[in-house]
A and B are shown apart, each in its own frame.
Chain A
Amino acid sequence: MLLPVIIATFSGFLLIALTFIVGRQRRLADAALVGLLIALFLSLDMAGLGLLERLGLVLWQAPVSQQLPGLLLEVTPFVLFFWVALLLTGVIVVLASRSFLQKTDRNIGEYYGLLLIALVGMMLVAASTDLFVLYLAFEMASLATFALVAFRKRDKRGTEAAMKFFIIGVVSSAIILFGISLIYGVSAHVASQLPPQTGAPAATDLRFLGTTLSLGLAQFEPVIILAVVLLIAGFGFKVATVPFHMWVPDVYDGAPTTVTTFLSTASKIMGFAAMFKIFLIALVGTAGQWTLALGILAIATMTLGNVAALPQKSIKRMLAYSSIAHAGYVLIAVVVGSHSDPAIAAFGLAGGLYHLLVYVFMTGGAFIFVAMTATLLIGERLDDYSGLARRMPLLAFAMMIMLLSLAGIPPLGGFVSKFILFWSAVQAGLVPGSEWMVSLAVAGVLNSALSLFYYARVIKHMYILEGPKEPVKVPTPYSLALWVALIGTIATGVFAFVFIDFVTQAAALFFG
């Protein structure tokens, strides 16, 4: 069941070793790509493709849904969804890195190795059933990404970004750990008072926590609230919600752009996987204590992200703020996912998952586009994009589609995913007691309209303003990565029915 994880781990270490043998970075990228594609194929196969089974190789019965109690892991459609999304990100980033990394860059094997090891950590976060395993996997991924940001160690801005990222990352991990320790204390105390039984789960098992924390709520309410505050703050830093978002523009702007792509997509997906698991499984019994707070954070995050993106002249920074705004949209799924009506909760979560999937394509693609223009020495500022549509008509078109999808223009993926998210919030708001959740949908719709302005400005520069005319030659791997992103963005909108089945199944089984 863990074959994709094992393959990714193996490829990661192999790549580090290969650095000493293979000199050409392109070959290393190809090797990483092969590993990722195999892992991606296996994950898709487990998620319901069932191709291997039809070929006579019966490793599993798709779709796989299995607990691995000895390892404190599980492989369910929910987990597989995250594996697919993460590995897709990996494919796009490695493709782009193949051209982004220069001959002068050193230790290229380590770059790909760290990338894969970070992905392994992220996949394990999604698969974990135990709070400590989740934390360990989270740290494994974080450490690898710290090193990735500082990959060009002679680049001053990159090193500065890495330093900021490291400090923020470590502090937020400490905050999370403190929250976990408080929760563990409550849970272990409650568990010790339960009648003893054989085979009882550990006090840090996520589903067991759901029971113990709701039992202990009356007795330990202040402790639990403190723990929740710490967890919200800690994860708030990781997925960059307001007011814990300050580091994002600096780090995203300073890091090598392919690494930024990785941070803005894969890291964020991991953060939300962890949040879904902790808030919607372990803390769901105490939902009354935190839904309103998270709802306010969601609205603040999307609004601030969009407002701050408006005046940006650097496209990379603009996209950084835009990714903050999108974290706000996905937070709606955490809020609605805690709803007492299981159908609404599953629908909201499905919306969140769907938005993350579309987000991989549209934000990933947009950052890759920026990386490409940087490599081609066109620049990363708005003014540099003037007249770009005439120099690279196809890829500028791809960028336009991704930006329109980010703004939520139908019939692209971003529209469908936002539609489901906001609609789930409206449905939740119709249930007495959670009327305020409608405001999430209203804020989301208004923000989408607002965001159109800065996305449209990039389109205006590319298509309407005049600029240099000489055509540019784009390296094939970049085009390939952008085509993957473009096709994904359009397919998730036009062929939404395929993907919605996938995410609703994942969400339904997530709640058991």
Chain B
Amino acid sequence: MAAFPILGLALFLPAVAAILVYLFARRDATARLGALIASLVPLAVSVYLLIGFLRPDLIPLALDPIQGRYRAFEEASWIPQINVFYRLAVDELSFSLVLLTTILVPLAMIYSWNQKKRVPEFFALLLLMETTMLGVFMSLDFFLFFVFWELQLVPMYFLIAIWGGPRRRYASIKFFLFTQAASLLVLLGIFVFYFYMGTGVDAFNMIAIIETGPIPIGVVQDLLFVALLIGFGTKLPMVPLHTWLPDAHVEAPTAGSVLLAGVLLKMGAYGLIRVNVQMIPEAATTLFWVFAVIGTISILYGAIVSLAQDDLKRLIANSSISHMGIVMLGIGASMHAFNNGTAGVMGISGAIFQMFAHGLISAALFMLAGSVLHRLGTRNLSELGGIMNRMPLLSWLLILAFLASLGLPGLVGFVAEFTVFLGTYEAFGLWVLLPILTVVLTAAYYLWGIQRAVHGPFRESLGEPRDIALYEVLPLVVLAGLFVLFGIFPAPLMDLFNTWTTSFFQAFGGI
């Protein structure tokens, strides 16, 4: 008997629910509740998978037939004439992102509970986003992967363009242009793989591509590497292709920002690791310096620009660039030191952990920025002041999230950054001081921000604000709990990522 298609359930249930909510929810309350319930199913699947990953003896998941590393494998023929299959599975890498997505979507929905404008459509789009994001992470067929990669543009475009801020038209179009242009490069790369796989049954099979490594080493790999780096790097975003991000973030509604920063940016990083690193590892090892240099530039650039921001949301957006730079740096460090034993493993393991950590932290930060605007009517740090006096709950959560983001030990961000920097030191020696410098900068802009916004006398010009409501507190407290949980007990997740990196290096011939 074939196993129950558990990933398929998690993937398509939100899409079906989206259609139902859009068509049939006549009252806003029904739409909200229906969407939330539908988004809990993928979360349940994630938890089930988590147990399967940590305790394979309890829940045995179906393994893929080629490498035996991808779990909850399911496959069906879709368009056999051009060798397209419906093929889903997760490994430790994609599972961490599936987990992140399924956690953030329900939280973003709860946070949006008082959304008043076109409610059924809003929640339907959030559900649709969930399907497309999960699809990108779960697909192991390049055609299917690209289908979801492209589809994901559509709901995000609408979220920004309908529910966004004053400059939403400009921001949504810019977002669309950048990511669509990047998608073309990804499509081109997929064509190259298809060609070199001999256009046979396995031509789109990502597992088979990883297994065989069809692209000849040398110029072809290097060119493909550059094309895919630009394609995925735009989404990441890496400097200098990052300019769409601050605009999109600032204009997007809070739930949109949460998913944009929390999950969408990770799609770029996921693409880099899954495709650039896993499928053309030779090019990735020779061109490791590209990752390292661009990563370091992104880290520094994001931090310096953040220092100059007055708008809280713009500050967080730019700090995202900095934090995603750490992911690139980690990959570069690992690719340089890949045959250096366990030291080489730390870079990519740390990078994956950083993706997970940044997803949680940035989600909380954007929710807080949304609440600040909603309650106080402004997000400009220069206009805020002393909100601790009137809104202690918001202020404490803000401080906690800022501390997590700047890498306070004991919280989730520290573990990730520390591992990456350790890996960088193993690979590049004292060059690590350059990116570590930004820790100071990051601390500077966050602490300065806290000082200006939270402390001091309350500014009477802000009116009589009420502290944040339950629907805002709930997701934030959950996120804060996760910061602490994974900050103090990172070991289970870290073990998963280490397993992943080690097995990849073993397959590639390192260690």
Contact = CB atoms under 8 A, between A and B. Distances in A.
Interface in B153-187: 154, 157-158, 161-162, 169, 176, 180-181, 184, 187
A404 B191 CA distance: 22
Given A404-B154, A419-B82, A423-B191, A452 B180 contact: yes
B158 A463 contact: yes
Interface in A453-506: 456, 460, 463-464, 496-497, 500-501, 504
SS class, residues of chain B in contact with chain A: helix
Given A445-B187, A449-B181, A464 B161 contact: yes
A449 B180 contact: yes
B81 A504 contact: yes
A416 interface: yes
Contact of A411 (B80, B81, B147): B147
B430 interface: no
Contacts of B150: 409-410
B176 to A, nearest CB: 7
A114 interface: no
B212 to A, nearest CB: 20
Contacts of B78: 496-497
Contact of A410 (B23, B151, B158): B151
Contacts of A281: none
B77 A410 contact: no
A415 to B, nearest CB: 8
A349 interface: no
B2 interface: no
Contact of B79 (A394, A445, A497): A497
Interface size bracket, B side: 20 to 34
B79 A416 contact: yes
B77 A497 contact: yes
27 contacts: A393-B23, A404-B154, A409-B151, A409-B154, A410-B147, A410-B150, A411-B151, A415-B147, A416-B79, A419-B82, A423-B191, A423-B194, A426-B191, A427-B199, A430-B195, A449-B180, A452-B180, A456-B157, A460-B161, A463-B162, A464-B161, A464-B162, A496-B78, A496-B79, A497-B80, A500-B79, A500-B81
B185 to A, nearest CB: 10
Nearest to A394: B23
A420 interface: yes
Given A426-B191, A501-B81, A449 B158 contact: no
Looking at A410, A463, A496, which has the most chain B CB atoms within 10 Å of its CB? A410
Interface string A389-414: 00001100000000010000111000
A416 B22 CA distance: 27
Q: How large is the interface on A (under 10, 10 to 19, 20 to 34, 35 or more residues)?
A: 20 to 34
Contacts of B184: 445-446, 449
Contacts of B187: 445
Interface string A408-442: 01110001100110010011001000000000000
B195 A426 contact: yes
A410 B154 CA distance: 11
A479 to B, nearest CB: 15
Nearest to A442: B188
Contact of B82 (A404, A423, A445): A423
Contacts of B143: 410
B146 A410 contact: yes
Contacts of A501: 81
Given A393-B23, A394-B23, A445-B188, 15 more contacts: A409-B150, A410-B147, A411-B151, A419-B82, A420-B82, A423-B82, A456-B157, A460-B169, A463-B162, A464-B162, A464-B169, A497-B78, A497-B79, A500-B81, A500-B82
The listed residue with most A CB atoms (<10 A of its CB), out of B154, B194, B199, is: B154
A497 B81 contact: yes
Nearest to B183: A449
Nearest to A416: B79
Contacts of A416: 79
Contacts of A460: 161, 169
Contacts of A410: 143, 146-147, 150-151
Contacts of A456: 157, 176
Contacts of A423: 82, 191, 194
A98 to B, nearest CB: 26
Interface string B307-327: 000000000000000000000
